[in-house]
Amino acid sequence: MDYKSLVEEAVKAREFAYTPYSHFRVGAALVGKSGKIYHGCNVENAAYTPTNCAERTAFFKAVSEGEREFSAIAIVGGKEGELSPLVAPCGVCRQVMAEFCDGDFIIVLGTPEKYSVHKFSDLLPYSFSKKNLD
Ligand code: THU
């Protein structure tokens, strides 16, 4: 799948964002090495801290269905009714990526009209991962 189509999948995922508190809606489309796409949105909570980001929703859906290796993710977001030019993954989501992704995992950020393509190793250099525990 081309990157523009993957960003469009992230836009679709964003439709289900549950954001009664921040009104900031995020969507993610994660590609497993099997070729399957997992969609994720942010899911907020009245107690705030249980909120789950769109990226982690996509990863946890995938891992819970048996997929553990990934090639790319597209992320889109913005306040209700608009798409921001670029929404980068938070630190917690980057750490979840470090668990399952190599440095060459691709992260596509932006909008279907204008997006940029990043390598995970550029977004989280010197990461702590299971390799450190060997
Ligand atoms: N959010 C994400 O879903 N992904 C990110 O990478 C950044 C933040 C969500 C969490 C919360 O529901 C809202 O955006 C505002 O922080």
Active site positions, annotated: 55
Residue having the nearest C-alpha atom to atom 10 of ligand 1: 53
- What is the CA(64)–ligand 1 centre distance, in A? 21
Which element (helix H / strand E) includes 92?
helix 91-100
Ligand 1 atom nearest 54 alpha carbon: 3
Cβ within 8 Å of residue 122, ≥6 positions away: none
For the whole model, what pTM was predicted?
0.97
Query: Is pLDDT of 1 > 90?
Result: no
**Could you report the per-residue pLDDT of 11-63, keeping only the tens digit for each?**
999 999 999 999 999 999 999 999 999 999 999 999 999 999 999 999 999 99
**Could you report the per-residue pLDDT of 72-121, keeping only the tens digit for each?**
999 999 999 999 999 999 999 999 999 999 999 999 999 999 999 999 99
- What is the CA(26)–ligand 1 centre distance, in A? 6
